[in-house]
Amino acid sequence: MDLQVIQNRIFVIRGCKVMLDFHLAEVYQVETKSLNLAVRRNIKRFPPDFMFQLSQYEWESLRFQFETSKRGGRRYLPYAFTELGATMLSTVLRSDVAIEASILVVRAFVAVRQLILNPPIDKVDELQNEVRELKQYVEDVFTDYNDINEDTRMQLELINATLAELQTRNKELNKPRRQIGFAAPQYIQR
């Protein structure tokens, strides 16, 4: 059986990750009746944190996912096995298939735990973060650019004011001066 198939059969019931007896029977390649019989014969190996029986409400809530009829061919409510209980089943069933299946079940529970602890990185979220960072960078650059422009504008205004002052002084210095000395009247010809 494929690890992904087993992972898809792990449910959260009463706050625990569990597999149901009929799914485990399929994995261990035994009948559900035989699996439950082996459990009842070794009930001391299955404390409440290893296994519990579903309530009618829990079973009704889950049943639609398995597409079973109301009759469903079951006399009793299914048992839910935690990771520890599913592992304990391999010691109760005592077959090579049970040992191999136990390894797969443990790996499936571990994979689900890892998935919960380290969810996959969502590419959209990653892109949104990158866009946010890029936007912040561009805003910072434009802020710096505007600061530089403001400083440059002030410097240019100072330069222009200084140039205007120098031009005014230059005009005063270069305006025609009155000549010193005797000037002959222009009507006299020489």
- Model-level pTM greater than 0.85? no
pLDDT (tens digit, 0 to 9) for every residue of the chain, 190 residues total? 677 787 888 888 898 889 999 998 888 888 889 889 999 999 998 999 999 999 988 888 887 666 555 555 677 889 999 988 888 887 888 777 777 777 788 888 888 878 777 776 677 777 778 888 888 888 887 777 666 677 777 887 888 888 888 888 777 777 776 777 776 667 665 5
**Contact in structure between 5 and 26 (CB atoms under 8 Å):** no
**Contact in structure between 83 and 109 (CB atoms under 8 Å):** yes
80 beta partners: 20, 52
**Integer angstrom CA distances of residue 48 from 22, 53, 82:** 18, 9, 9
Contacts of 88 (CB under 8 A, 6+ apart): 45, 46, 50
